[in-house]
Structure 1
Amino acid sequence: MYVLDTNIISELIRPRPNGGVVQWVDTQPLSSLYTTAVTKAEIYYGLHILPMGKQRGDLEQALHQFFSAGLQNRILEFNSTSAMEFAMIASYRRKAGIPISNADAQIAAICSQHGFQLVTRNVSDFAECGIEVMNPFTE
C-alpha cells in the first residue's frame, strides 16, 4: 500500500503532470493508493491562500474530484496510535540533529502505523523515519 505525499497530489492535478508520476500511479491498483488528512490539510491550505478567480475555482474543482472520487475512503487520519509514532520519529530526528517539520513527522507516523510506503519527491525529508519511501519522479 502507498501513501501519496502532498507534492505527488499537487503534481497529479497540474495541467501537464510529470509523465513518470502519471505512469507510476496508473500502474498501481487504485485501492492501493492512500493519502493522509495532514496532506489534505496542506493541499487545501495552499488552495485557500490563492486569490479568488478562475484558476482557484478550477483547482478547487480538481481537488474535490481527486479527494471524493480518486481517494474516496482512503484518507488516513492522525490518531492516538500515530501520535505515539510521531513522538518517536520527531524525538529521534531531533536527537540525531536532523529536525523534521510537524507535518512531515505526522505523515511519517501515519505511514509507520499502517506499514505503508510513502510516495514523495522529497525523499530526504523522510530519512531516518523508519518508513519506506519512493520517488516516482526518478524511479
Structure 2
Amino acid sequence: MFLLDTMVLSELRKKDRNPGLVRWIGQQKDRDLFVSVVSIGEIERGICRQQARDAAFAQKLAAWLDQLLLSHADRILPVTIPIARRWGQLGAELGRSDADILIAATALVHGMSVVTRNEKHFAPAGVRLINPWA
C-alpha cells in the first residue's frame, strides 16, 4: 500500500505530468493508493492562497479537490491517536514536525511506503520511499 505525498497529487492534476509518475501510477491498483488528510489541508491552503491571485484558477483547483475527495473517499487516512503519537516522537527525534513528518508518521503507522519526489524531507523519518521521478 502507498501513501501519496501532496506533490504527487498536484503533479497528477497537471496537463504535462511527469511520465515516470504516470507510468508508476498506471501500474498500481487504485485500492492500494491512499491520501492523508494532511495533504487535503495542504491543497486547501494552496487554494486559499491562490484565491487572491487568480480566483478562476482557485475555483478550478477547488473543483479538482472536490473530485479527489470523491474518488478517494474510502482511501483518505485521518490522523489517529497512534499517528499523532508517532508524529510527536518523530518531531522530537528530528527537531521538526511539519506536514511531511505527519504524512511520514501516517505511513509508518499503516506500514505504507510514501510516494514522493521530495525524498530528503521524508528519509530522516525512516519511512519507505518510492520516487517515480527517479
TM norm structure 1? 0.88
Structure 1: runs of 5+ lacking an equivalent: 95-99
Corresponding position of 2:38: 38
Corresponding position of 2:76: 75
**Alpha carbons 1:13, 1:63 under 8 Å: kept:** no
Where do 1:102-121 residues align within 5 Å?
102-121=98-117
Aligned counterparts of 1:104 and 1:53: Cα–Cα separation in 2:
27
Superposed CA RMSD: 1.3
Corresponding position of 2:4: 4
Where do 1:54-133 residues align within 5 Å?
54-69=56-71, 71-94=72-95, 100-133=96-129
Aligned counterparts of 1:14 and 1:121: Cα–Cα separation in 2:
15
Q: Which moved more, 1:9-18 or 1:55-64?
A: 55-64
* Identity level (%): 31
Structure 2: runs of 5+ lacking an equivalent: none
- The number of residue pairs the alignment matches comes to 132
Structure 1 residue 101, shift from structure 2 partner: 4.1
Corresponding position of 1:97: none
Corresponding position of 1:16: 16
The one-letter code of the counterpart of 2:131 is: N
Aligned counterparts of 1:67 and 1:123: Cα–Cα separation in 2:
25
TM norm structure 2? 0.91
